[in-house]
Amino acid sequence: MATPHDRLFKDTFSELESARSQLAAVLPEAIASHLDWSTLALQSAEHHGHDGGALFSDLLYTAQLAGRQAGIYLLFEHQSTVDAQMPWRLLRYMVRIWERLAPKAGELLPVIVPVVLHHGPHGWTCSKQLRSLIDMPPGLEEALAPFIPDFTFVLDDLARLNDGALRERKLTELARMALLLLQLVRGSEDPVAILQGWTETLTAVLRGDDGRENIGRAGGYLLATTDVEAGHLRAFFATLGPGAEEAFMTGADRLRAEGRAEGQAAGRAAGQAEGQAALLLRLLGRRFGPIPTDAQVRVQQADTATLEQWVDRVLTAATLAEVLDGVG
């Protein structure tokens, strides 16, 4: 289920001008200077594997690089917590992207540059190298290195981005507002005190394209992620100019509606999964006899996509392990 942070990130950086400004600011200059930013295009972030399963990254773009038609893929991920497995997650996305392109014999794969926007409160503390996740015996690192895949990712760690640096970064005002909300405001005891120093940015967003919608989204995000009273926020937004207070109220109404819809969807999904789990356990019992307790727990805790995959295996699998683990 999408979090308020996910929604703010995707809504903001699905807008290409804001994506261009953010990516141009964080990519190494040697890469950014050779990109044709006018060709930046949003791509599907759903990646299917040969097994039929799907992975969903956050945002994915393509652009021409150094005049080459093959171009470059920019994989843009949002992370609110430190994840030591991030290089592995990114590698899985990258492989799925290459698989989706299905290159013919002799064709070269396009470059994929992963970018991670992190807005945890204490900064990124894990390695950005894939190699750090691979267990290599001490003293054999150099000998094994040619056989070990490795890469790093571009990290934009908002915990290291202070007020002055955010003001100086060449961004659209919408992108600047999103970074402000993600890092400088999130979790603050008095977000309005912070926002009062950024009225110029917020007013510019209000006056821009889809301004009221974007201000409403900001209001909904603040209500969802801070403890500030709605009336206090409403009064602040009213100072930004005509339409801002109404936009804030619209964002608040949307947040309440989304909360109700998500609650209903969660209830339906839970009921569907429970029914699928019961059906699968009956099928497994008829096929393989009494089911061990640990296997029953796995089935009862699985999501609907996993349960569907296991149901498909029941008729052809020779053992219980082949159903649940895909091994014979």
Number of domains in the chain: 1
pLDDT: which is higher, 91 or 220: 91
Task: For residue 243, give the amino acid letter.
Answer: G
pLDDT at residue 177 is higher than 80: yes
Residue 12 has phi, psi (to 5 degrees) of: -70, -50
Residues composing the chain: 328
Question: What gap in Å lies between CA 251 and CA 38, rounded to an integer?
Answer: 32
Residue 49, domain member (yes or no) = yes
Is residue 273 situated within a structural domain?
Answer: no
Q: Are 49 and 55 in contact (CB under 8 A)?
A: yes
Lowest mean pLDDT among 13-17, 50-54, 81-85, 220-224: 50-54
Q: Is residue 289 part of a domain?
A: no
Structural domain includes residue 25? yes
Q: Of 76, 110, 85, nearest to 95 (Cα)?
A: 110
Residue carrying structure tokens 């261009």? 20
Q: For residue 241, give the nearest of 214, 196, 207 by alpha carbon.
A: 207
Cα-based angle 156, 160, 161 (whole degrees, multiple of 5): 80
pLDDT band at 90 (very low <50, low <70, confident <90, very high): very high
Name the residue range of residue 63's domain.
1-129+147-186
